[in-house]
Amino acid sequence: MTLNYFKTVYRIEGRFPNHPIVKVVVAIYIAAIAIAFILLGCEPAVDPTRQFLVRKGEHYASPKVSESLQSNTLAFDARFNESAIYNLGDNSLQSDKNKLMGFCDCNSMVHENSARFAWQWFNNQLEIYAYCYVNGTRMEQFVGVVQLNEYNHYQIERNNDAYVFTLNNEPSVAIKRGGTCNAGLYYKLWPYFGGHIAAPHDVIIDIKTIY
Amino acid sequence: MKKFLHLLFTLSMMAVAAKAQHVLASPIIEKTIAGNQYGGQLLLETKSQWGFGVFYLKSLQRSEGGQSYYPFYGASLNAPLIKSGKIHFFLNVRAGFVNTNFFVIAPGFETRLAVTKSVSLSLLSSIRMQSPSTALRINIKL
């Protein structure tokens, strides 16, 4: 089978012969075009920024998202606005930690082994905490203070022994990790208001996940 | 969990292999929210077009958060939905591990265009990292 054969058939019949080689060539062309579309598409696939809303009187934020962690590091940027300011009228309630984002450790439930950033409006400032459950025991540690209406960078690194929390370029905070497996399902945890008290008004948080 | 999945995979593989009509080898390119990934898949396919196989995907460049850089490998299941001439539609589920530790399930919908008896093209739309992804496969019947 030579190129001349194809040329001859095309000259006589006005079309290429119905031969498997022709089909393969056509398939390669289609594949090349599809690959070009996939690889050279300049638009980002999806905007990874989500706006979460905790409605007045509720704990859970919407939209509801179900996603698993796929890396040793969970990194994201988050922005609060004035809706993060609230007054519950009692210091013990005011210091309840609201959850920002984190993950459940290997095949664990949230109250068994998990690591999250938490936040509270306290002393007229937005305070960020490391908030973990380690073998069922809750652990909290102050991480830093952030300003409203600006994005800040949050990172939780899961290593063999500890969860390492980093806020922007501030010194990291490490909390010892519990005895759990290594290979399994790690699902992400999303914004939650409370503590004991539900949101006193609508609370809006923008989160940009970094993949 | 890995041992259980390994056992499940082996048993399923044996069951499908017993009924398998042919093997499809496919290079893959996939665009995800974290970047492009490349790899391949081996699929045993029965006469009724149920498919079961293994795949491996990896990015060549590290993304900002590093999620696509680590290989994603595991088992792939194809369930036939509709057949219309040279176009076949499948429900696809991929389950496996990213970075050896993180278990992931990626459901999808595959459209396959038969080009010749031994070559076909597949466009797979699936959910990776809670976002849509698109993959192209060139299936070669062995």
Which ipTM did the prediction report? 0.70
Q: How many C-beta atoms lie closer than 10 Å to residue A70's C-beta? A: 25
8 Å CB contact between A174 and A162: yes
Structure token pair of residue B107: 């459901």
Pick the residue from chain B with its C-alpha nearest to A66: B130
Write down the pLDDT at residue A2: 65
Q: Inform me whether the pLDDT recorded for A43 exceeds 60.
A: no
Q: Say which DSSP state A82 is in.
A: G
Go through the domains of chain B in sequence order and give each one's CATH number.
17-141 (2.40.160.20)
2.40.50.140, 2.30.110.10, 2.60.120.200, 1.10.3470.10: which CATH number matches A49-210? Answer: 2.60.120.200
Write down the pLDDT at residue B119: 87
Top-confidence range, A8-22, A137-151, B107-121: A137-151
DSSP assignment of A161-211 equals SEEEEEETTSPPEEEEPPS--SSB--BEE--B--SSSPPSS-EEEEEEEE-
- Best B30, B127, B129 member to test A by mutation, with max A CBs in 10 Å, is B129
CB contact set of B86 (below 8 Å; sequence gap of 6+): B113, B114, B115
A30 vs A188, residue with greater confidence: A188
- Best A28, A71, A160, A209 member to test B by mutation, with max B CBs in 10 Å, is A71
Structure token pair of residue B95: 């389950």
Write down the pLDDT at residue B32: 85
User: Over B85-138, what HEC string results?
Assistant: CCEEEEEEEEEEEECCCEEEEEEEEEEEEECCCCEEEEEEEEEECCEEEEEEEE
**A107 CA: distance to closest CA in chain B (Å):** 9
Confidence of residue A112 (pLDDT cuts 50, 70, 90): very high
Structure token pair of residue B49: 């077009």
Write down the pLDDT at residue A116: 96
A181 touches chain B (CB under 8 A): yes
**A87 CA: distance to closest CA in chain B (Å):** 35
Among residues B83, B96, B92, the alpha carbon closest in space to that of B26 is found at B92
Q: List the single range of A5-9, A117-121, A200-204, B29-33 with lowest mean pLDDT.
A: A5-9
Write down the pLDDT at residue A65: 85
- Spell out which residues of chain A touch residue B33, defining contact as CB-CB under 8 Å: 44-46, 48, 211
8 Å CB contact between A53 and A202: yes
Which of B2, B97, B131 faces A46 most closely, judged by CB atoms?
Answer: B131
Rounded CA-CA distance B51/B110 in Å is 12
Q: What percent of chain A has pLDDT over 90?
A: 55
Residues of chain B in Cβ contact (below 8 Å) with chain A:
1-2, 29-36, 63-68, 70, 72, 97-105, 113, 115-117, 119, 121, 123, 129-134, 136, 138
CB contact set of A181 (below 8 Å; sequence gap of 6+): A106, A107, B1
Rounded CA-CA distance A27/B113 in Å is 9
Write down the pLDDT at residue A12: 76
Rounded CA-CA distance A171/B21 in Å is 59
Rounded CA-CA distance A115/A131 in Å is 6
Question: Domain boundaries in chain A?
Answer: 3-40, 49-210
Structure token pair of residue A120: 């509270």
Residue B2 burial (C-beta neighbours within 10 Å; 0-12, 13-18, 19+): middle
Q: Long-range contacts: A87-94, Cβ < 8 Å, 24+?
A: A87/A121, A87/A200, A88/A197, A88/A200, A93/A195, A93/A196, A93/A197, A94/A120, A94/A121, A94/A122
My answer on whether omega of the bond before A14 falls inside 30° of 0, hence cis, is no
Arithmetic mean of pLDDT over chain B: 84
My answer on whether omega of the bond before B27 falls inside 30° of 0, hence cis, is no
Which of B64, B129, B136 faces A34 most closely, judged by CB atoms?
Answer: B136
| pTM exceeds cut of 0.90 | no
- Spell out which residues of chain A touch residue B30, defining contact as CB-CB under 8 Å: 38
